[in-house]
Structure 1
Amino acid sequence: MRTLSTVLLAAIVPTLLTASHTTPRLIETRPSAETRTEIDQDLHCLALNIYHEARSEPESGQIAVARVTLNRVESEAFPESICGVVKQGSQKRHRCQFSWWCDGKPDDPKEQKAWKRSLEISRRVLADEVPDPTDGALYYHTDYVSPKWSRHLERTTRIGRHLFYRPTQS
């Protein structure tokens, strides 16, 4: 099982170190320009995914979509970066993991309030400030469709209009 890059997390989350065994001190990690660019891209890709997949959902549903994206990054079955996960399958129209990415429509957010909310949720999820409400889900769909693939997975939860799944545990 992969984990998110410690460089990425260290650059996002200030690290609590102890100068002695009794006095904690907060230090800031200053990432390189290359790492900052990667962080900015990942934050942007995650926020876009939240915006397009779940902007009408309650905050818990938006967090769940973000967590599925990160769960995929940690899985060997998916690309190793957030943007890689979001853009997976984009070689063919309507064959993406997230349909908004390759539907041929503009991806620029139009609703500023929803976009700001997506960015803030992305930041909080990347900083690991919120737990995973999906219990390790790698997949989801809305409740008004019934894809065949869902029959072969274990449903973990329902949040808002989305049903969440992970591979069946043996």
Structure 2
Amino acid sequence: MRTVLGRLTRAAGLAALVALTGATAQADDLLASRLGAVLGQEREALRVVPSSRMAALTAPPPAEARNIQTGPLVVSYDRAFLAGQPRASGGAEWECLSEALYFEARGESVRGMFAVAEVILNRVDSRAYPNSICAVVNQGTGRRYACQFTYTCDGNAETIHEPAAWARVGKVARLMVDGAPRELTAGATHYHTKAVSPSWARRFPRTASIGSHYFYRQPTRTASN
């Protein structure tokens, strides 16, 4: 008796499943039919829209609306601005500039760090110096105290001991490599601390005094010089 009841129950269940499947298939067919009709109406409506209007409707929003930088970078020379910048990273050129700023200017104000970075990039742009950041920074390295940037030839290991300072100079380097304006030193190619007085400083025009550094622009040589 139980076997018969079990068979009848299974049969009823299968019948219900078949009926449900059929109903679901019919519902799917009806939905597809209605959706096709709606899409057909939409296509017909879009055909009468002028192509110029359609382009305007489908074009992405302007870069300004998407918060994408399109013009020159805007820099504020203060710690709050620098703290708000994302943690920086980059390739060899960024790293060379970051190291130079760390060993030459990490104790300076934000303005002072940007000013030293300007000097390095101004040299890159000058025909009197190598045409890459790393080459400028390492020019003369290997001759003790005869290099362009003392930290590269003073015999001391170049070790980063201050992670917070490294993070700050890295942000400055990132901004400068990315095209931040050079508006602090009037094209300076040289600087020195106010504690020394190198002989060339008497021949080069001084362009700025920022923090503990004086900045100078190397005179342009002419054919008659």
Q: Same fold (TM over 0.5)?
A: yes
Q: Could you tell me which of 83, 108, 129 is aligned with 1:57?
A: 108
Matches of 1:94 and 1:168 in 2, distance apart? 24
Q: Could you tell me which of 103, 112, 124 is aligned with 2:154?
A: 103
Tell which has more relative contact order, 1 or 2 (C-alpha 8 A, sep 6+): 1
Q: Which amino acid in structure 2 is aligned with residue 141 of structure 1?
A: H
Matches of 1:166 and 1:24 in 2, distance apart? 40
Matches of 1:131 and 1:137 in 2, distance apart? 10
User: Where does residue 93 of structure 1 map in the other structure?
Assistant: 144
Matches of 1:132 and 1:70 in 2, distance apart? 12
User: Where does residue 186 of structure 2 map in the other structure?
Assistant: 135
Deviates more, 1:66-75 or 1:104-113: 104-113
* Structure 2 unaligned spans of 5+: 1-54, 70-89
Q: How much has 1:132 moved relative to structure 2?
A: 2.9
User: Where does residue 216 of structure 2 map in the other structure?
Assistant: 165
Paired residues of 1:124 and 1:130 also in contact (CA < 8 A) = no
Matches of 1:53 and 1:141 in 2, distance apart? 10
What does 1:16-165 align with in structure 2 at a 5 Å threshold?
Answer: 24-25=62-63, 40-165=91-216
Structure with the larger strand share: 1
Q: How much has 1:126 moved relative to structure 2?
A: 1.2
SS at match of 2:183: coil
Structure with the larger helix share: 2
Identity of aligned residues (%): 42
The number of aligned residues is: 140
SS at match of 1:73: helix
Q: CA RMSD in A?
A: 2.3
Paired residues of 1:64 and 1:134 also in contact (CA < 8 A) = yes
1:99-119 Cα offsets, whole Å, 9 max, x none, are: 001111111211111000010
TM-score by length of 1: 0.76
Q: Which amino acid in structure 2 is aligned with residue 79 of structure 1?
A: P
* Structure 1 unaligned spans of 5+: 1-18, 28-38
Q: How much has 1:127 moved relative to structure 2?
A: 1.4
SS at match of 1:146: coil
Q: How much has 1:130 moved relative to structure 2?
A: 4.0
Q: How much has 1:49 moved relative to structure 2?
A: 0.5
Q: Which amino acid in structure 2 is aligned with residue 85 of structure 1?
A: V
Q: How much has 1:93 moved relative to structure 2?
A: 1.3
Q: How much has 1:167 moved relative to structure 2?
A: 2.3
Paired residues of 1:67 and 1:134 also in contact (CA < 8 A) = yes
Q: Which amino acid in structure 1 is aligned with residue 130 of structure 2?
A: P
